[in-house]
């Protein structure tokens, strides 16, 4: 009798063990989360005998997949119509309305993998999912010997929620070589993003060759070298050499555009006008209201002090932009050109004779209407080049150009206003999408400003309730401004994993999202980044520190929290380093008498997870005053 119970107990334990293993294997760590996912028994193993099957029209996608796995596996997959182990890319014979233009189905069986789609883009995204189903070592830049390249058998149906899924990289504040620009495009494409917004011009550098205006790269692409905090730098001296910077030749641009097209990424070029134009004015000072001379800005304060805007009263400004936008339009095959339109200081316009005459001639009553006049002229030029115009939400001021698409960054208000006027909108509010902001406590992060946590990215909903027609919201994007991002490793640190969250926001269906699931899948993808030597932030594992001022008792209280709820927080006030034997945080803290520093550290299952954060009590008191 006891033996019978023992057998039952052993059987039960075995079943529980098998169920747990299946649960782990049954949910691959896919980002973004697919629409429909089914785990099936078994697995497919890629070997040197595996064959790729693709029609000639899709051969490039198949070859890209073969190239991606060749280095780590050592396999050179051949194209053939048969074999015992095959991966097939196939277009649907009948259009599948459910998956649309970018969707796909993926069917992994022990002897055959089939990716089907209506369009090549869908095959590409199915291929990216297939890559994520492979072991993390597939990201290695070196061959991995004696590795079983196993893919779990699954059945997936997937398609995006939004058509516009982007990341913006500012290359004006710091120039990044074309090789790393391509790397950035490759990474965003892996997570099914399809727009690379390229911020090419600003006060700190003009980065694109315009052959009819050679001074733009000869002068505007270079500034005096500086380090230190942005806006606190000394301006370029009279005899100082301007040798920090760089630019992309038109051949570079063509190479990058082709690279992006192969990954179904559209490049949105941005030429930021009429403000943010100091680099252009350094090259062509006659386009300003004041006449210069000008130096390319090094990161010193200038707004409202130095003239950095094209003169809308000067017809030469429009001749200049006709040349610029003509050459830009010829280089980029996408349907949009972004003309900026943001943060334009209009003070110099008020005293400019040409601007005053323009306002009188055009019956314009305010500087905002003068900017609107300029933007409408930009739209006419852009349209004459066969493109559509896009701008930041400031282009609403003074009246919106008739067919403009608005990129809403100062919250959702501008996007809502534009949509109510029946204009298309890209939602990219700073509170959810600005990747240059702090992603953890400022005491533990490189200097920047404001705050954007991973959860703020993930909780972003691009369609506000006030929108009358949701179809006017084309999608959204994350924006990485680089004032405080001087090198590419830091570009990666600021982008990932917050861009994982945005990729899921823009691709996945709302009902398929879940924070706890995302964190688990994110952790697996960060392991892939470790293999690939891609930098990323672990700030989500850090404690957040919020000082609270008790106005009644005139004391400082401190609230600690974590984005990941399963983490424990330990702290010290006595200038020692905390560990999991230190006091554990359970409720708001009172600062002990005489304490001058707080240190905090997070743990999970007795293992330290985040960075140790040290912050002075004086700094915490200052935060309550901000």
* Catalytic (active-site) positions: 202, 276, 343
What's the CA gap between 372 and 404, in Å, rounded? 11
Query: By C-alpha distance, which of 405, 265, 428 is closest to 334?
Result: 265
Residues 6+ apart with CB under 8 A from 253: 208, 209, 331, 332
Torsion over CA: 77, 533, 488, 426 (sign) = positive
Segments in 143-229 forming alpha helices (H): 178-190, 215-218
Cβ burial 246-284 (10 Å sphere, 16+ → b, else e): ebbeeebbeebbebbebbbbbbbbbbbbbbbbbbbbbbb
What's the CA gap between 169 and 187, in Å, rounded? 13
What's the CA gap between 514 and 528, in Å, rounded? 21
Is the CB of residue 612 less than 8 Å from the CB of residue 600? Answer: yes
Task: Kindly list the distances between the CA atom of residue 157 and the CA atoms of 114, 160, 433, in Å, as whole numbers in the listed order.
Answer: 12, 11, 28
What's the CA gap between 391 and 408, in Å, rounded? 9
Is the CB of residue 491 less than 8 Å from the CB of residue 442? Answer: no
Cβ burial 33-64 (10 Å sphere, 16+ → b, else e): bbbebebeeebbebeeebbbbbeeebeebbee
For the chain, what is the radius of gyration of the CA atoms?
27
For the chain, the residue count is 626
Sheet of 36-46, strands arranged across: 36-46, 149-158, 104-108, 112-117, 86-91, 51-54, 78-79
Q: What is the DSSP string of 526-594?
A: HHHHHHHT-----GGGSPEEEEEEETTTTEEEEEEE-SSTT-EEEEESSSSPP-TTSPBP-SPEEPPTT
Of all helices (H) and strands (E), which one includes residue 165?
Answer: strand 164-170
Task: Kindly list the distances between the CA atom of residue 6 and the CA atoms of 9, 13, 15, 17, in Å, as whole numbers in the listed order.
Answer: 5, 11, 14, 16
Query: By C-alpha distance, which of 28, 38, 30, 336 is closest to 163?
Result: 336
Query: What phi and psi, each to the nearest 5 degrees, are found at residue 59?
Result: -65, -35
Query: Which burial class, exposed, middle or buried, applies to 169 when counting CB atoms under 10 A from its CB (0-12, 13-18, 19+)?
Result: buried
Task: Kindly list the distances between the CA atom of residue 232 and the CA atoms of 4, 298, 299, 344, 481, in Å, as whole numbers in the listed order.
Answer: 79, 10, 7, 21, 17
What's the CA gap between 430 and 439, in Å, rounded? 13
Cβ burial 355-369 (10 Å sphere, 16+ → b, else e): beebbeeeebeebbb
Is the CB of residue 130 less than 8 Å from the CB of residue 112? Answer: no
Half-sphere CA count of 199, side-chain side, radius 13 A: 29
DSSP tally for the chain: helices H, then strands E: 18, 26
Q: Scanning the structure block, which residue is given the tokens 């599948």?
A: 96
Q: Scanning the structure block, which residue is given the tokens 């130096």?
A: 295
């Amino acid at each position: 009798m006891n033996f019978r119970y023992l057998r039952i107990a052993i059987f039960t334990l075995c079943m529980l063990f098998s169920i747990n293993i299946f649960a782990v294997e049954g949910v691959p760590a896919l980002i973004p989360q697919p629409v429909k996912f089914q785990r099936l028994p078994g697995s497919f193993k890629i070997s040197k005998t595996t064959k790729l099957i693709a029609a000639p029209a899709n051969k490039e996608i198949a070859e890209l997949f073969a190239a991606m796995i060749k280095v780590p596996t050592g396999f050179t997959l051949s194209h053939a119509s048969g074999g015992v182990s095959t991966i097939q890319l196939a277009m649907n014979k009948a259009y599948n309305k459910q998956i649309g233009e970018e969707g796909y189905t993926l069917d992994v069986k022990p002897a055959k993998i089939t990716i089907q789609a209506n369009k090549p883009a869908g095959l590409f995204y199915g291929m990216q999912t297939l890559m994520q189903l492979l072991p993390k070592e597939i990201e290695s830049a070196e061959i991995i010997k004696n590795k079983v390249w196993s893919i779990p058998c699954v059945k997936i149906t997937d398609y995006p929620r939004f058509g516009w899924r982007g990341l913006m990289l500012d290359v004006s504040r710091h120039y990044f070589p074309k090789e790393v620009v391509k790397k950035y495009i490759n990474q965003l494409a892996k997570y099914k993003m399809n727009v690379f917004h390229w911020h090419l011009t600003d006060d700190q550098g003009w980065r694109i060759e315009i052959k009819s205006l050679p001074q733009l790269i000869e002068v505007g692409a270079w500034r005096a070298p500086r380090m230190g905090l942005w806006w606190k730098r000394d301006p370029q001296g009279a005899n100082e050499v301007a040798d920090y910077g760089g630019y992309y030749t038109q051949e570079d641009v063509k190479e990058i555009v082709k690279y992006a097209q192969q990954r179904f990424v559209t490049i949105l070029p941005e030429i930021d006008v009429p403000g943010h134009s100091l680099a252009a004015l350094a090259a062509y000072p006659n386009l300003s209201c004041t006449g210069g001379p000008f130096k390319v800005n090094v990161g010193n304060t200038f707004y409202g002090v130095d003239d950095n805007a094209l003169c809308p009263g000067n017809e030469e400004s429009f001749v200049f932009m006709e040349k610029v936008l003509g050459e830009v339009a010829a280089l980029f095959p996408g349907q949009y050109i972004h003309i900026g339109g943001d943060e334009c200081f209009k003070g110099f316009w008020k005293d400019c004779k040409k601007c005053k005459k323009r306002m009188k001639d055009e019956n314009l009553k305010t500087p905002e209407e003068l900017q609107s006049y300029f933007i409408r002229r930009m739209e006419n030029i852009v349209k004459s080049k066969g493109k559509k115009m896009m701008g930041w939400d400031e282009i609403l001021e003074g009246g919106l150009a008739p067919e403009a698409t608005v990129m809403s960054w100062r919250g959702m208000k501008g996007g809502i206003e534009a949509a109510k006027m029946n204009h298309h909108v890209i939602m990219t509010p700073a509170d959810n999408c600005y990747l240059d902001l702090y992603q953890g406590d400022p005491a533990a992060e490189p200097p920047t400003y404001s705050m954007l946590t991973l959860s703020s990215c993930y909780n972003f909903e691009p369609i506000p309730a006030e929108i009358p027609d949701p179809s006017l919201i084309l999608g959204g994007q994350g924006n990485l401004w680089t004032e405080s991002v001087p090198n590419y490793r830091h570009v990666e640190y600021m982008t990932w994993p917050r861009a994982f969250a945005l990729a899921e926001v823009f691709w996945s269906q709302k009902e398929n999202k879940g924070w706890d699931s995302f964190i688990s899948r994110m952790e697996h993808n960060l392991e892939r980044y470790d293999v690939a030597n891609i930098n990323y932030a672990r700030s989500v594992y850090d404690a957040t520190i919020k000082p609270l001022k008790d106005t009644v008792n005139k004391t400082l209280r401190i609230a600690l929290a974590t984005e990941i709820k399963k983490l424990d927080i330990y702290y010290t006030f006595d200038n020692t380093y905390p560990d999991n034997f230190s006091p554990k945080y359970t409720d708001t803290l009172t600062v002990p008498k005489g304490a001058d520093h707080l240190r905090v550290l997070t743990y999970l299952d007795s293992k330290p997870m985040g960075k140790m954060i040290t912050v002075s009590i004086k700094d915490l008191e200052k935060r309550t005053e901000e």
